[in-house]
Structure 1
Amino acid sequence: MTRAVACIGTGTVGSAWAAVYARAGYQVRLFDAMPGTVEDFALPRIGRTLADLAAARPTGESVESILARITPSETLAEAVDGVEAVQESVREDLGIKRALFAEIGAAVPEDALLMSSTSALPGSQFLRDVPNPGRALVAHPVNPPSHIPLVELCGTGETTEGTIAKARGFFEAAGMEPVVLNREIEGFLLNRLQYTLVAEAMHLVGEGYCSPEDIDRVLTSGLALRWASIGPFMTAHLNAREGFQGFVDQLGGMMKTMGREAKTAYDWPAELAGEIHDRMAAQQPVETIPQAQAWRDGRILKTRALQDSDKAPGRR
């Protein structure tokens, strides 16, 4: 039996998902309510993405063969007919998502996984009213999911444990690396960590402690060199001879002080964002962002190759 996935909404995220699923061997149906998006944006972008991935992470299959598994659909009903999973990646609008999943739920097989790429909206606000809501969940990727393997799985309160297990296996088989949230929280995991760091960075710049450029250097020449291989807990574990407990025993007081003093709710002045924008645009003009994104994505693939090459001695 041919295995099929529907990608609904084919912008930057949806087209990247299509590349992931096609490389994993699925027949991929594309649908976007905006006329011309699939043909003029998604398919060319998917072709470029597959070429980049073939060069950096080859599967042994030609780009042309993978592309042949991706087909546009004229209607939403056609896209979801007979599929085993639906990946929705439309605009972050609660009304749009509710209406869309009502339509999807009426047309899709009753045992198909229903998954949303939302990065801001709790799934419980728009996934509980679909037929058989236990098979619906959030599968939040990092943009672009074609290059970054993390996907955050979050149920709605109605989602069954079997669905979470099924989704985990589904993504692992597609080469992704899922993590599971035990309950809903706004922003999921990655964005809560990311936005907290950026908010404190705004505080440090806004109060004159440093420049925006120096904040970026602290990450790229400091934290990121460790975090590309190990996360913050393992970083702490390796930073003390006694491991994580020793790290906390020595520095826990300082950690709590920094936590109290950090201004993650910093009320930055409106002009600060504009000033930082101007400094970033002086380094990377806005009109060159597409080329810089391609460079960034290439660096991500090189980093993944390094991550894949070895692991720490003795690590299980």
Structure 2
Amino acid sequence: MKIAVMGTGLIGQAWAIVFARAGLPVKLWDGNNEALQNATAIIAKQLQELQTQGLVNHAADALSNIKIASTLEQALEGVDYVQENLPEDAAIKRTFYALIDTMAAPETILASSTSSIPASVFTESLAGRHRCLVAHPVNPPYLVPVVELCVSPWTSPNVLERTKSLMNLVNQKPITVNREVEGFVLNRLQGALLREAFRLVENGVVSVQDLDTTVKDGLGLRWSFMGPFETIDLNAPNGLKDYCERYGPMYQSIAAEQSHTEPWSDDLINEAEKQRRQQLPHNQLLNRRLWRDERLMALIKHKLEHEESNK
């Protein structure tokens, strides 16, 4: 398959790596030529780091699969799949999709990386709306492989299956979101955890640092290789139903306290920011992000080795 990646911010760069390291030809386009040129340099650096970590065999070969498209017409010519990464703005996407729907070949799949906007919001009026869907990655997708595939009411089942096949081909982990909901699945789960985390800090139950420790050295250790349903299935002698009978009343009691839906207050955000900056000064954020990516690479390498040993 031939791929076009539209928009060369962090997500666009990462998608280009995903497709190129799998050996697929990628055309990279951005309305901002300076951003486009900068992206290629960043992609080259990221691929080299992946090679250093043993997650890409030949960085130079992967990079050679990526070509710059100077015009939108050139980017769309002959491609089978478009991964759009424009700003999270429904109006911008609506205008852009109206344009590319008239330019791309009829069988070309048009997929959006949007984090929360249902595809129906920006594809309803398109003649080719049946070939549009959301393919929402986790940042960065070349390290975190889950991709949420969410169709609109008019997306063709064939388009979903073709997209799923493509994601499997490039070693992503596609999951199907069966109906449109704001934020899809991952961000709704993340949002639920964040809301309770902020509530516990706001009520003086725990510090920001200790909350993070609870997740990274508690829940997160299990969640790095199993989901919440498998977790509870293994946490009671007779499985999931047994767990629910034992702990369901506790969770119901806790849920009764979690109906608050007010936005996070400025005071709460400022206090959380203060505690984080005490742990990590602002000028060290970039280095910590790079450290995070290195740790993710090590974790992914470990998981891949484990999967290979169990084949």
TM-score class, shorter-chain normalisation, is over 0.9
> CA offset at residue 287 of structure 1?
2.5
- Between the aligned partners of 1:18 and 1:226, the Cα distance in structure 2 is 30
Q: What is the match of residue 119 of structure 1?
A: 115
Q: What is the match of residue 232 of structure 1?
A: 228
Q: What is the match of residue 8 of structure 1?
A: 6
> CA offset at residue 166 of structure 1?
0.9
Give the TM-score normalised by the residue count of structure 2: 0.95
Q: 1:46 aligns with which of 8, 31, 43?
A: 43
Query: 3-state DSSP class of the match of 1:151?
Result: strand
Q: 1:245 aligns with which of 241, 247, 250?
A: 241
Query: 3-state DSSP class of the match of 1:115?
Result: strand
Aligned-partner residue type, residue 227 of structure 2: G
- Between the aligned partners of 1:73 and 1:20, the Cα distance in structure 2 is 18
Q: Is the 8 A contact 1:110 1:131 kept in 2?
A: no
Does residue 24 of structure 1 match 2:57? Answer: no
Aligned-partner residue type, residue 200 of structure 2: L
Q: Is the 8 A contact 1:203 1:263 kept in 2?
A: no
> CA offset at residue 305 of structure 1?
2.2
> CA offset at residue 131 of structure 1?
3.1
- Between the aligned partners of 1:260 and 1:81, the Cα distance in structure 2 is 55
Q: 1:34 aligns with which of 10, 27, 32?
A: 32
Q: What is the match of residue 292 of structure 2?
A: 296
Q: What is the match of residue 145 of structure 1?
A: 141
Q: Is the 8 A contact 2:115 2:183 kept in 1?
A: yes
Q: What is the match of residue 194 of structure 1?
A: 190
- Between the aligned partners of 2:28 and 2:283, the Cα distance in structure 1 is 29
Query: 3-state DSSP class of the match of 1:215?
Result: helix
> CA offset at residue 308 of structure 1?
2.6
Q: Is the 8 A contact 2:3 2:79 kept in 1?
A: yes
Give the TM-score normalised by the residue count of structure 1: 0.94
Q: Is the 8 A contact 1:200 1:263 kept in 2?
A: no
Q: What is the match of residue 94 of structure 2?
A: 98
> CA offset at residue 45 of structure 1?
1.4
Aligned residues: 310
Q: Is the 8 A contact 1:204 1:210 kept in 2?
A: yes
- Between the aligned partners of 2:283 and 2:99, the Cα distance in structure 1 is 38
Cα displacement string for residues 56-102 of structure 1 (whole angstroms, at most 9, x for unaligned residues): 34453x21121111111111111111100000001011111111111
Q: Is the 8 A contact 1:203 1:264 kept in 2?
A: no
Q: Which stretch of the first structure deviates more once superposed, 8-17 or 127-136?
A: 127-136
Aligned-partner residue type, residue 5 of structure 1: I
- Between the aligned partners of 1:128 and 1:56, the Cα distance in structure 2 is 44
Cα displacement string for residues 207-249 of structure 1 (whole angstroms, at most 9, x for unaligned residues): 1111111110110111011111111111101101101111011
- Between the aligned partners of 2:127 and 2:25, the Cα distance in structure 1 is 24
- Between the aligned partners of 1:188 and 1:56, the Cα distance in structure 2 is 32
Unaligned runs of 5+ in 2: none
Aligned-partner residue type, residue 7 of structure 2: G
Aligned-partner residue type, residue 299 of structure 2: T
Aligned-partner residue type, residue 135 of structure 1: R
The alignment-based identity, stated in percent, is: 35
